[in-house]
Amino acid sequence: MTVPNSRSAAARPDVRASPPRLAAVASPLYLREDEIRRGIELLYFGYTSMVRGADAILAREGFGRAHHRALYFIARRPGMAVGDLLRLLAITKQSLGRVLTELQGKGLVEQSIGTTDRRQRLLRLTKSGESLEAALFAELETGMAAAYGEAGQSAVTGFWSVLIGLIPAADRALVEGLRQR
Amino acid sequence: MTVPNSRSAAARPDVRASPPRLAAVASPLYLREDEIRRGIELLYFGYTSMVRGADAILAREGFGRAHHRALYFIARRPGMAVGDLLRLLAITKQSLGRVLTELQGKGLVEQSIGTTDRRQRLLRLTKSGESLEAALFAELETGMAAAYGEAGQSAVTGFWSVLIGLIPAADRALVEGLRQR
DNA sequence: CAAGATATGTCAACATGACTGTCCCAAATT
DNA sequence: AATTTGGGACAGTCATGTTGACATATCTTG
């Protein structure tokens, strides 16, 4: 037997034509392949559309998307330690090291020694780092605010909850830890 | 004046604490920065969580994510011409060329000459290409179906509509053209 | 206090998948 | 007949990820 081909399961009912009668359906048996593929595609195109907006600004400064991600999270959680950023980005320290060295070299990021643990290096943006991050954020914000506005508040809640469901449970605390306190 | 820093606008009302009184609010003035950032972050982590699941399978076959994207779209629209795939992926033909050459070399993709326009090369998966794509799809499906199931059907609708809003209007027809007809 | 674990940094080599620029051929369009 | 379009190829470069090895400072634990 070869790898199972879920595409051959053709006769499942369409949930949009006949929604499930029971609230809080546990088993998603009613989901058709086309709906899964639509989610995959929209997630791909939505994500790439979002990040593409910032590329022109980044290119002007001689940076790439890796620099953007570092700037973004340092802006979001000033004083974050290197190890925390490493876990968020899920890359190797060598990869992050290069990016941080470049950002520090151009005076956008600075480090300080951890207060409770002196081995830690706490990261924050300099004034010019904040300016660049703000410009990049403004790019993303434009698209995201328009999408939120078009879709409406309840759609936004649904958008969030599906995305949270995509993140492995073990990683969710990491993401939730970014929120405003 | 430097680049505007939207993070300094601190006193906007929290929509979750006091939702807008008017239905179908046209101007998203009520959106706070934290809600925008939450969308950015969930989109980033949701997207990376989704694609990471397929990496192990790809690595076993000696392929990367670029091959996965090509396989995915060829599976989705068999008979698609090279140029259509190029427009979907928004990469250069040199980049796509390498990927397609490798996929053809390993016997996963085959070409045929266009019927109405003989310059075109129409792409389809071979039997073994279909097997691999099915295995990759099954990986993504697992996560997506679980997320849909947890969130519920109305959340899924919201998820879709926000993502569509993120895609520039000019590109939406391309994405919608992938759906089942 | 000594030993081990942890946080961080660095050097080196390499792989993937983008990019630009250039040139080519065949087929369609004008 | 001339031009445009669809596809392919060669060459070089860049951004960003990877392994592996090793060093240093600091914290934790027996």
**What's residue A74's pLDDT?**
98
Distance (Å, whole) CA A111 – CA A123: 5
The answer to whether the Cβ–Cβ distance between A158 and B159 falls below 8 Å is: yes
> Does B171 contact chain A (CB < 8 Å)?
yes
> Does B115 contact chain A (CB < 8 Å)?
no
The answer to whether the Cβ–Cβ distance between B28 and A145 falls below 8 Å is: yes
pLDDT digits (tens, 9 = 90+) for A118-177: 999 999 999 999 999 999 999 999 999 999 999 999 999 999 999 999 999 999 999 999
Per the structure, the residues numbered 8 to 67 in protein chain B that have their CB within 7 angstroms of any atom of strand C are 62-67
Tokens of B88: 């979907």
Q: Please name the residues between 53 and 92 in chain B that touch chain A, using a CB distance below 8 Å.
A: 69, 72, 75-76, 90
The answer to whether the Cβ–Cβ distance between B144 and A39 falls below 8 Å is: yes
Q: Which residues contact A113 (CB under 8 A, 6 or more apart)?
A: A120, A121, A122
| C-alpha pair distances (Å), B37 with each of A72, A123, A142, A160 | 10, 19, 12, 11
Distance (Å, whole) CA B160 – CA B154: 10
pLDDT digits (tens, 9 = 90+) for B107-132: 999 999 999 999 999 999 999 999 99
Neighbours of B23 (CB within 10 A): 6
**What's residue B32's pLDDT?**
86
The mean pLDDT value of chain A amounts to 86
| C-alpha pair distances (Å), B66 with each of A75, B71, B134 | 31, 9, 16
Pick A155's closest partner by Cβ from B19, B42, B158. B158
User: What is the sign, positive or negative, of the torsion defined by CA atoms of A84, A90, A95, A101?
Assistant: negative
For chain A, domains (ranges, CATH) are: 37-176 (1.10.10.10)
**DSSP structural state of residue B23:** S
**What's residue B89's pLDDT?**
97
The mean pLDDT value of chain B amounts to 86
B116 min Cα distance to partner chain A (Å): 28
Q: Is the pLDDT of residue A7 over 50?
A: no
Q: Which nucleotide C1' is nearest A70 CA?
A: D16
The answer to whether the Cβ–Cβ distance between B5 and A134 falls below 8 Å is: yes
DSSP A90-148: T--HHHHHHHHHHHHHTTSEEEEE-SS-TT-EEEEE-HHHHHHHHHHHHHHHHHHHHHH
Place of tokens 């995305």: A163
Burial state string for B50-71 with b = 16 or more CB within 10 A and e = fewer than 16: bbebbeebbeeeebeebbbbbb
> Does B25 contact chain A (CB < 8 Å)?
yes
Q: Which nucleotide C1' is nearest A121 CA?
A: C8
Please, are residues B44 and B115 in contact by the beta-carbon 8 Å criterion?
no
What's the average model confidence in pLDDT over A73-92?
A: 98
The answer to whether the Cβ–Cβ distance between B151 and A141 falls below 8 Å is: no
**Which nucleotides of strand D lie under 7 Å from a protein CB?**
5-12, 15-21, 25-28
